[in-house]
A = this chain, B = another copy of it.
């Protein structure tokens, strides 16, 4: 028994889970309407086989041997980190009964198809039974994993190791204290020219501009592609095939390209995992973690938000690239200048849709979702009461009325696929994006590149400090090593304050 034995089994797990990702990608892009039921079964079978390997006695023995071997390699050898993370993940996996995992996978595929239909028909009642079953399952799931304080902690922990509802509440309090006055200030600014974003922008040209800029940022299209979908996402079939999806609207320009750059940020993370940590054609290069996935969902989101907001919504970015956009849409953007455009895409206006929210109000969406999710999981909130509860929060936090379910509880895909507990990672990503951007910007070549429209130094810095580690370090370890501090909302609030100052 040697490290090779461990690597071989990890390779099988990785291949199964990458195939699962391919089936998921297809389900959300090209699958015919009646393909959903069997797809759910197939995904469940493949996940079940992966779990059989991961929780089997053979893997346990291989993992122990690998641990001894990696431990001898020294405390900072990547294999040691990799094996350590795998042990933690397998430990959680062993607590989950197979029946629960299989049921959740099957339900996920069917619920997602039901959600697509319900969203189209604005029919919450059509989706409610699926959501009820999902909530019940995730409560069982939390009980199986175990938690100290709150069942929701077990769910967040899967996406963000070490995070708890209590820690989130503290973070949210700081953010709220910082954000609310900023939003108030921003709303009193003169209204920018939003009409320039509402022309007729043909989608093929939108895609051309979006993809050209994504390639400039560093997303590698020879190892990826962009497809259309309802709710954009990034997904990896291994570091040499990492796909992004988008949704474009002819009459609303910014959502298309910002969405692409967001997903490209996720994609660059996956494409940047060190070959030794991904699945390689040479078994000896395998490091023993799944080929896909970053340190956490929050760390992943930090990469997407960094490219979307820290870079893509900066005045420097549009000073440099507005000309290219104007050349793409000469009629529609006639007489507009870079500053006017930059102001328009940074307009603060509370809205109903999370994925279209401006930077200042985005986290409000996340915070009330966290509150609702936690209440659903404990049973304090019933699914049937969810639309009213949602409407109440939107009124309270954003000052808006919810006119329909499409603009309310049916807007996000997450619950349909069983991802309760993942929303907080968006806000964690925002916070971390500023921490990392600040640390990167302290390097002179990164700072100079940002002024000159050359993103290679920034991409290289992120590759070195974040991407290459894959899942072999925890988010806290990455933050500490890259920025010298733990999770900290101050750089994020500072970035937003600077933006409002610049807009004023």
Contacts and interface: CB of A to CB of B under 8 A. Distances in A.
Contact of A238 (B15, B19, B42): B42
Contacts of A243: 32
A39 interface: yes
Question: How many residues of A sit at the interface, in one of the four size bands?
Answer: 35 or more
Interface in A277-314: 279, 281, 291
Contacts of A279: 38, 41
Interface in A1-56: 11-12, 15-16, 18-19, 22-23, 26, 30-35, 37-39, 41-42, 45-46, 49
Contacts of A237: 35, 38-39, 42
Contact of A30 (B34, B42, B225): B225
B26 A42 contact: no
Interface string A125-138: 00000000000000
A177 to B, nearest CB: 45
A205 to B, nearest CB: 19
Contact of A23 (B22, B32, B45, B224): B22
Contacts of A16: 45-46, 49
A435 interface: no
B238 A281 contact: no
* Number of copies of this protein chain within its complex: 2
Contacts of A238: 35, 38, 42
B38 A281 contact: yes
Nearest to A224: B32
Interface string A421-465: 000000000000000000000000000000000000000000000
Contacts of A32: 221-225, 240-241, 243
B241 A41 contact: no
B240 A37 contact: yes
Contacts of A30: 30, 225, 227
A241 B15 CA distance: 22
B281 A39 contact: no
A9 to B, nearest CB: 11
Q: Which of A223, A240, A291 has the most CB of B within 10 A?
A: A240
Contact of A241 (B11, B31, B46, B225): B31
A287 B220 CA distance: 45
Contacts of A18: 38, 42
Contacts of A26: 22, 26
Contact of A38 (B34, B38, B42, B241): B241
A45 to B, nearest CB: 4
A23 B19 contact: yes
Interface in A362-421: none
B45 A11 contact: yes
Nearest to A25: B26
A105 to B, nearest CB: 11
Contacts of A39: 237, 241
A224 to B, nearest CB: 6
A223 B222 CA distance: 31
B223 A15 contact: no
A39 B39 CA distance: 20
A26 B11 CA distance: 21
A38 B15 CA distance: 9
Contacts of A239: 38
A54 to B, nearest CB: 14
A18 B37 CA distance: 13
Contact of A281 (B33, B41, B241): B41
Contacts of A225: 30, 32
Contacts of A222: 32-34
A9 B394 CA distance: 49
Interface of A: 11-12, 15-16, 18-19, 22-23, 26, 30-35, 37-39, 41-42, 45-46, 49, 220-225, 227, 237-241, 243, 279, 281, 291
- Chain A to chain B: the 8 pairs with minimum beta-carbon distance, closest first: A35-B241, A15-B45, A38-B238, A15-B42, A34-B223, A34-B240, A19-B19, A34-B222
21 contacts: A12-B45, A15-B41, A15-B46, A16-B45, A16-B46, A18-B38, A18-B42, A19-B22, A19-B23, A30-B227, A31-B241, A32-B221, A34-B223, A35-B241, A38-B239, A38-B279, A38-B281, A38-B291, A39-B241, A41-B279, A46-B46
